[in-house]
Chains A and B, each alone.
Chain A
Amino acid sequence: MSKPGTQIVPGKYQPPLPAERFILRQPLDTEAVPMDVVFVGGGPAGLAGAIELARLVKKDNDAGGTLGDVQIAVLEKAPGLGEHCLSGAVVNPVAFRALFPELNDSDFPFRVPVTKERVYFMIGEKAQRIPTPPTMQNHGHHIASLAEIVRWLGGKAEELGVNIFTGFPAASLVMDGSKVIGVRTTPTGLGRDGNPGSGYSPPTDISARVTVLSEGSRGSLTQAYMQSERIGSANPQIYALGVKEIWETKKPLDAIVHTLCWPLPNDAFGGSFMYPLTPNLVALGIVVGLDYRQTTVDVHELLQRLKTAPLFREYLDGGEMVEWGAKTIPEGGYYALPERRYGDGVLMVGDAAGFVEVASLKGVHYAMQSGIFAARTIFKALKNGDTSPAALSEYDGLVNASFIRNDLYARRNMRLAFQRGGLYVGGIKATLMTLTNGTLPGRKIDSHLDADVSREVVPETPFVPDGKLTFSKLDANFKSGNATRDDIPSHLVVGKDIPPEVATLYQHMCPAGVYERDGDRLVVSPANCIDCKATDVIGPRWTPREGESGPRYRLM
């Protein structure tokens, strides 16, 4: 048993990024499938990029241009588009309008326009209404399901002839020196021992002139590429973990709701959200920075506790949870952006590049807009027959001149203000920043890697789910649609000799129940993984597994 006050630094037990798995320096297989452009990840960024590129090419060909047939592929690890996508979400339609200028807002796959919003400060279970902070005002925005948005975008992409390959995770980038020349997919049908079983399919190579990394939060190939090419950032990227549920409710919700404070510890960053999806569906969740300070902070459990507050029970009692899921969000903002998001044969877009604005909880329109900029850059490069780094660097120029950069710059220190000083001091700093549009305090606040933040070993607070309003991780995992094949090899790289307190940390860190402390040892059930990537941030490293694994979100 550890003494009270013992500190654990997760980074000490975390293996390094297994970059040798993610970067292959060898020629592509002779049977490689030839593509012109590959988008790694079929989320809003990748699909927006594919759509914009296909449109530009078509328009050019129709006008007599000589590009001809440009083969565009989107590789998506989930069995179906949208099944690994999760977000609140309250969406700013600006990128949809840029992508589909001929359509109206009413044509877009949104559920409900935002009318009312309420923010509460939770003092224990009691909800105290506070004025909506300027950063969180959502007039003109729409509540949506990201999974639905992605399916809709996918339909548009297929109509334009984009090749969408679902169930094909990218295992590695294939590089020739500093140049990305293609992607290799994961094999299928390996047994638990790692050897081919029945139904084995070998990996496939895909060659591409440009590869767009649209992997989403904590993308493995993106991390490996940046490490290989020594692309740094002013601050390291930091993450929050969001756990979300969708409920069928008897009482309709008339506003978007955000809360701060309880049940998060005072020194943890985050809050909760509850949004109406339709008259009888509600999306709710909790987001907590992974730099939390105690080993037993458990984001899934915090969400379960949150639901017991009258503010939430009012809507959930008598209802039924229909879906559950979790995902990390990059929170480092402006100073954590990679110093360049282009390279030889490669571009980085969306969450993978860190284009998320924490104070307003927005990422979808930045993702899509960055995909659009990538497409425009690639189109020009293809037209000129020049896909050199110089040509692709135009992408950074487009992003830097846009609202993506401006918005992130305006709020550049908001999140980081919390890493130092907790809720109250941070709250004051954040308010000042908003009022001054970011000019005060102006200097960059330094931040640490989440893995380097120490956490105190504290006793666990027992949590007993009731199975009706609150659920165990196992029961919740079921509602993610996770039906991963049980005997696939483990995709997680665990450090050696994990002490019991770290096993406890992992058990609480993972929302899906992958890690359990059994006595003094760590038990790992990799098939429970829903690819949220929290483990990759402060625990065992995540690697891609065979396609068709993981959750199958319908409305997340």
Chain B
Amino acid sequence: MDVRFKISADGTSVDEAGLKYDINDFDSWAVEAALQLKEKAGQGEVVVISLGPDAAQETIRKALSMGADRAVHLKADRIPFDGFAIAGALAAELRDGGYDLILFGKMSPDSSNGIVGPIVAEMLGLPCVSAISRLDVADGKGTAKRELEGAQEIVEFPLPAVLTVDEGLNTARYPSLKGIMAAKRKPLEVKPALLGDTKVSVQRLELPPERAAGRIIGEGAAAVPDLIKALQTEAKVL
């Protein structure tokens, strides 16, 4: 759906009237990865944790419908922009959980920062591999692949670890009818979020200006030199 955003009256947040919350793709791949690991191991527990207002329960329910075993909702009036504040609350919740793997999506398409996973890892003193597109886990160790610009890295790490998930790792399953029904009976604990300090603040949000009218550089291959020049000197993208 092509969402047209509106900025709230005070200019520092998105006007959410008429908008629906949904799980983002990166998170759904992370949930899928956890479910697949549990299925492969034949044992284990998949816990879903989400921080946010009541609307976060939709997302939590979706993950439970996919097959997660239980959930924790860290309730906050609003999701702070500052990933540091979010990471503080998540780390506090995760610290004594005894998790072998903690999975995050690479980033939230809303705030588009991509920092919560690695900051949580630092706070917990755990190894972290970010933006993985392939994962194998065996005997307390893991191997992951990361996509770079024109290259790939193969990375090894011990468990327990924090991983953030990128596109290509898997295709998230659709919740089944049975899964949706079972989700209603799964434990969902609600607690207040103990947000970390806010270190950065949003001064204002703006919609990008309407694109200025462009121009036709010229016709045919003869126009290429002028295009190159425009890209170098005007647009500065080359």
Contact = CB atoms under 8 A, between A and B. Distances in A.
Interface stretch (B111-119, B174-182, B200-208): B174-182
A188 interface: yes
Contact of B181 (A31, A163, A167, A478): A163
Interface in A515-556: 547, 552, 554
Contact of B1 (A185, A199, A483): A483
Contact of A206 (B172, B173, B174, B177): B177
Interface string A24-36: 0000000101000
Interface string B9-27: 0000000001010000000
Interface in A67-93: 80
Contacts of A165: 177, 180
A172 B140 CA distance: 48
B171 A33 contact: no
Given A478-B2, A481-B1, A204 B18 contact: no
A33 B173 contact: no
A189 B2 CA distance: 23
Nearest to B172: A199
A204 B174 CA distance: 13
Contact of A189 (B4, B174, B177, B178): B174
A61 interface: no
Nearest to A551: B1
Given A33-B181, A554-B18, A201 B176 contact: yes
A168 B177 CA distance: 8
B171 A201 contact: no
Contacts of A188: 174
A483 B22 CA distance: 16
Interface string A42-86: 000000000000000000000000000000000000001000000
A195 to B, nearest CB: 16
B1 A33 contact: no
Contacts of A104: none
A467 to B, nearest CB: 15
Which of B1, B2, B4 has the most chain A CB atoms closer than 10 A to its own CB? Answer: B1
A118 to B, nearest CB: 29
B185 to A, nearest CB: 12
B178 A33 contact: yes
Interface string B172-197: 11101110110000000000000000
A201 B180 contact: no
A198 interface: yes
Contacts of B171: 198-199
A167 B20 CA distance: 15
Contact of A80 (B4, B20, B181): B20
Interface in A156-170: 163, 165, 167-168
Interface string A178-191: 00000001001100
Contacts of A547: 174
Interface string A446-485: 0000000000000000000000000000000010010100
A433 to B, nearest CB: 42
A168 B180 CA distance: 11
A252 B153 CA distance: 59
B177 A185 contact: yes
A217 B28 CA distance: 35
Interface in B17-52: 18, 20
A31 B180 CA distance: 15
Nearest to B1: A481
Contacts of B180: 163, 165
A199 B174 contact: yes
A165 B1 CA distance: 20
A483 B2 CA distance: 9
A78 B198 CA distance: 40
Contacts of B174: 167, 188-189, 199, 201, 547
Contact of A552 (B1, B172, B178): B1
Nearest to A197: B171
A474 to B, nearest CB: 14
B134 to A, nearest CB: 15
B59 to A, nearest CB: 14
A547 to B, nearest CB: 8
Interface in A180-223: 185, 188-189, 198-199, 201, 204, 206
Nearest to B4: A322
A185 B173 CA distance: 17
Contacts of B172: 199
A96 B75 CA distance: 34
Contacts of A80: 20
Contacts of B2: 478, 481
Which of B2, B174, B177, B180 has the most chain A CB atoms closer than 10 A to its own CB? Answer: B177
Contacts of B18: 554
Nearest to B177: A204
B55 to A, nearest CB: 13
Interface string A378-391: 00000000000000
A201 B174 CA distance: 7
Nearest to A480: B1
B228 to A, nearest CB: 32
A199 B174 CA distance: 7
A206 B181 CA distance: 12
A189 B175 CA distance: 12
A198 to B, nearest CB: 5
A33 B177 contact: yes
A284 B2 CA distance: 22
A167 B177 CA distance: 10
Contact of B176 (A199, A204, A478): A204
B4 to A, nearest CB: 8
A554 B3 CA distance: 11
Contacts of A552: 1
B121 to A, nearest CB: 30
B142 to A, nearest CB: 23
A80 B22 CA distance: 11
Q: Rank and list the top 3 A-B pairs by shortest CB-CB distance, nearest first.
A: A204-B177, A198-B171, A199-B171
9 contacts: A33-B181, A198-B171, A199-B171, A199-B174, A204-B178, A478-B2, A481-B1, A481-B2, A547-B174
Interface of A: 31, 33, 80, 163, 165, 167-168, 185, 188-189, 198-199, 201, 204, 206, 322, 478, 481, 483, 547, 552, 554
Given A165-B180, A167-B174, A168-B177, 5 more contacts: A33-B177, A163-B180, A188-B174, A204-B178, A547-B174
Interface of B: 1-2, 4, 18, 20, 171-174, 176-178, 180-181
